[in-house]
A and B are shown apart, each in its own frame.
Chain A
């Protein structure tokens, strides 16, 4: 199996308000097509870990590989590019650009990547929206759609550049059970049908149990 993401001995300290050892010697890897969830109590460091894995947080010790390429210590510009190309991110809160239309929101990372023409990007974006069954919302302003719809738009945006891995920070945490289940089904489907690797931080036991693998965290360490 091909390794998509690998973390080696990651240590992280919070300096404020007091020096605090958040992550202690975290090592694990994710294979291509794997659907992994990270569970743990509030404050155990699971979100912190996710932000390190997503390359947004660079203040840590240890090594992080993405597609067998070392990303630790790379320049910010380079990390932005890696994030743009290889990582899709879904947050707990919907985080769409509220002044743009749904379609524009989805297209934005692809435009930034600049690999394809505008027409191709638009076609791709429509396809992702269709995949998530929200193509009828394409022209609406992002601020005018419901929470569940927003989260699906966010997933479509995360998928637009066909990333190596999709990361989620409690993507269902802010949704009702119907929408949460809906989002889970989408993830499952992406994993099964498209072979997408997923790494989802969650509180939701039901959610986690249905994934391929659960990484249980406690006090900054991987327990299971």
Chain B
């Protein structure tokens, strides 16, 4: 029969009379858990931000028509040479059109696919920006503005003006901030665009964007897809790229392969394009957990130590308790409950500490060129981390308390009493 009231009251008295040691032990857990929560919230926040940085603006599958030498040469097709060894020197690719042939029906079909959240067209073109006497080379991309906003968080990178302005203005251009700086242009100014073919086209600057990658911001600008077609003097079915966003990024590889097979186009999936990216995320998570577990193990050893000392100090008490009818199990429970109280109190305080620290970090200013929309450090407040934290605290104190308390259970009262 276990009388919890008595056991807990003894545990409580032990803890309160040794308040200093109790506090030290609990603080060990508090700092361990607090550091874990702070670290994991901050790290996963950072991970998520970096993921978003790449994943949100990168299409899961990028479809385009690439100029490349044919894999199969006419000589290979000729039956008479099928058993011979053919050498063809100096193979050159054939000049094909840059546009995706039959782009509209392909787009319609892709948009009907249940795996695909959205497939949107783009037109990529080289051009010169002309303002006064200055002429700069650059890239102009024609986009379906509102779809880009919906699927690729395009809005986040517009630092002046808005996406709607670009959508509504067929003579508007969203200029890279680097280009604007170099040419001393601001929103509302006019600028001319000269295509490679030589056509000159006046446009009005409706906004500036900043992707965070200087090389890109120095050359890139966006226009409405119709504007791009007009600048290039092409028809409405002229589309050079299709960007696809999926519901589940895991399907990217298989879908890319399917598109290549089905439409005879080049399709690059995000996993191939950003293979190093996932490795980074995994390693950052690994570091976070390694550091947190180390902290908790240190805290666990602190508790182990303090309980061990406590049990040596309380040898006489243990002998008395046993002599007056407390069983070994009762004594073990007394010391286990002390460990658990330290663990739970320390753990809960640790959660509060972590909560406080992660919110302080969340409020800390974080100014970075790379991310114009991010003003404070990214923190991921996930309740799951708090659950893991408290579970960890309870588990580690359980093990730290288990060994010393088992020793207390086994103490032979006769030896202690005789030993006096």
Q: Are A80 and B414 in contact, with the CB atoms below 8 A? A: no
| Interface residue? A184 (CB, 8 A) | no
The complex places the Cα of A100 from the Cα of B9 at a distance, in Å, of 10
Residue of B nearest to A92 (CB): B420
Given A95-B316, A112-B6, the answer on whether A83 and B325 have CB atoms closer than 8 Å is: yes
Given A51-B414, A56-B413, A95-B316, are A83 and B324 neighbors across the interface (CB < 8 Å)? yes
A157–B323 CA distance with the chains assembled, in angstroms: 11
Measured between beta carbons, the chain B residues less than 8 angstroms from A83 are 323-325
Contact mask for chain B residues 322-352; partner A; CB cutoff 8 A; 1 contact, 0 none: 1111111110000000000000000000000
Q: Is A91 an interface residue (CB 8 A)?
A: yes
Residues of B within 8 A of A109 (CB): 324-325
| Cβ B328 vs Cβ A113 within 8 A | no
Contact present for B326 and A112 (CB under 8 Å): yes
Which residues from 236 to 285 on chain B have a C-beta closer than 8 Å to any C-beta of chain A? none
The answer for the CA separation of A35 and B320 in the assembled complex, in Å, is 24
In the assembled complex, the Cα of A93 lies from the Cα of B414 at a distance in Å of 13
Q: Which residues of A lie under 8 Å from residue B326 when comparing CB positions?
A: 80, 84, 112
Query: When the two chains form the complex, which single residue of B319, B327, B420 contacts A80, counting CB atoms closer than 8 Å?
Result: B327
B418: interface (CB < 8 Å): yes
Q: Which residues of A contact B168 (CB under 8 A)?
A: none
Nearest-neighbour CB distance to chain A for B160, whole angstroms, equals 70
Q: Separation in Å of the A127 CB from the closest CB of chain B?
A: 18
Residue A111 at the B interface, CB < 8 A?
yes
Are A108 and B6 within 8 A (Cβ)? yes
A81 near B325 (CB under 8 angstroms)? Answer: yes
- Please name all residues of chain B whose beta carbon is closer than 8 Å to the beta carbon of A104 when the two chains form the complex: 13
Question: Is there a chain A Cβ closer than 8 Å to B317's Cβ?
Answer: yes
Task: Report how far A96 CA is from B17 CA in the complex, Å.
Answer: 15
Chain A residue contacts of B322, Cβ below 8 A: 56, 80
User: Would you call A157 and B324 a contact (CB within 8 A)?
Assistant: yes
Q: Which residues of B contact A112 (CB under 8 A)?
A: 3, 6, 324-326, 330
Q: Please, how many angstroms separate the alpha-carbon atoms of A89 and B3 in the complex?
A: 21
Task: Give min CB distance, A100 to chain B, whole Å.
Answer: 6
In the docked arrangement, what's the CA distance between A83 and B324, Å? 6
- A99 beta carbon closer than 8 Å to chain B: yes
Q: Is the CB of A150 closer than 8 A to any CB of chain B? A: no
Say yes or no: B327 contacts A77, CB within 8 Å.
yes
Q: How far does the alpha carbon of A209 sit from the alpha carbon of B117 in the complex, in Å?
A: 101
Q: Are A80 and B3 in contact (CB under 8 A)?
A: no
Interface size on A, residues (CB 8 A): 32
Quick one: given A57-B414, A108-B6, A111-B5, are A77 and B329 in contact (CB under 8 Å)?
A: yes
Q: Please report the C-alpha to C-alpha distance between residue A216 and residue B214 in the assembled complex, in whole angstroms.
A: 102
B21 to nearest A CB, angstroms?
13
- B325 adjacent to A113 (CB under 8 Å): yes
User: Residue B417 at the A interface, CB < 8 A?
Assistant: yes
Complex CA gap A113/B413 in Å reads 19
Q: In this assembly, does A145 line the interface, its C-beta being within 8 Å of a C-beta of chain B?
A: no
- Among residues of A, the one whose C-beta sits closest to the C-beta of B6 is A111
Chain A positions 19 through 61: 1 when the CB is less than 8 Å from some CB of chain B, otherwise 0: 0000000000000000000000000000100010010110000
Tell me the complex Cα distance, A83–B322, Å.
9
A152 within 8 A of B: no
List residues of chain B with CB within 8 A of the CB of A84: 324-326
Q: A97-135 interface mask toward B, CB cutoff 8 Å, 1 = contact, 0 = none?
A: 111100010001101111000000000000000000000
Nearest CB in chain A to that of B319: its residue: A95
Asked whether any CB of chain A lies closer than 8 Å to the CB of B204, the reply is no
* Interface contact B14-A99, CB-CB below 8 Å: yes
Q: Which of chain A's residues has its CB closest to B327's CB? A: A80
Q: Does B91 contact A (CB under 8 A)?
A: no
Known contacts: A97-B317, A99-B13, A100-B13. The answer to whether A169 contacts B323 by CB under 8 A is no
A195 to B329, CA, bound (A): 34
Contact B329 A111 (CB under 8 A): no
Q: Inside 8 A of B3's CB, which chain A residues have their CB?
A: 111-112, 114
Assuming A99-B17, A114-B3, is B327 touching A76 (CB within 8 A)? yes
As a 0/1 sequence over residues 10 to 45 of chain B, the CB contacts with chain A under 8 angstroms (1 = contact) are 100110010000000000000000000000000000
Q: Does B77 contact A (CB under 8 A)?
A: no
CA distance A76 to B330 in the complex (A): 11
Task: Tell me how far the C-beta of A158 lies from the nearest C-beta in chain B, rounded to whole angstroms.
Answer: 8
In the assembled complex, the CB of B204 is this many whole angstroms from the nearest CB of chain A, namely 83
Question: A85–B326 Cα gap in the complex (Å)?
Answer: 11
Give the shortest distance, in Å, between A21 (CB) and chain B (any CB). Answer: 18
What CA separation (Å) do A113 and B317 show in the bound complex?
A: 18
The residue on A at minimum CB distance from B325 is A84
Q: Tell me the minimal C-beta distance from B13 to chain A in angstroms.
A: 5
Asked if B87 is an interface residue, CB under 8 A from chain A, the answer is no
**In this complex, what residue of B is CB-closest to A98?**
B317
- What are the 3 closest A-B residue pairs judged by CB atoms, nearest first? A84-B325, A80-B327, A99-B17
B interface residues (Cβ-Cβ under 8 A, vs A): 1, 3, 5-6, 9-10, 13-14, 17, 316-317, 319-330, 413-414, 417-418, 420
Besides the known contacts A57-B414, A80-B325, A111-B9, 13 further A-B residue pairs in the complex with CB atoms under 8 A apart: A56-B322, A56-B323, A56-B414, A81-B1, A81-B325, A83-B323, A84-B326, A96-B320, A97-B320, A98-B317, A111-B3, A112-B6, A169-B417
Residues of chain A touching chain B, judged by Cβ–Cβ distance below 8 Å, are 47, 51, 54, 56-57, 76-77, 80-81, 83-85, 89, 91-93, 95-100, 104, 108-109, 111-114, 157, 161, 169
Can you spell out 25 A-B residue pairs with CB atoms less than 8 angstroms apart? Answer: A51-B418, A76-B327, A76-B328, A77-B327, A77-B329, A80-B330, A81-B1, A81-B327, A83-B325, A84-B325, A84-B326, A89-B323, A89-B324, A91-B323, A91-B417, A93-B420, A95-B320, A95-B323, A97-B10, A108-B10, A109-B325, A112-B3, A112-B6, A114-B1, A161-B325
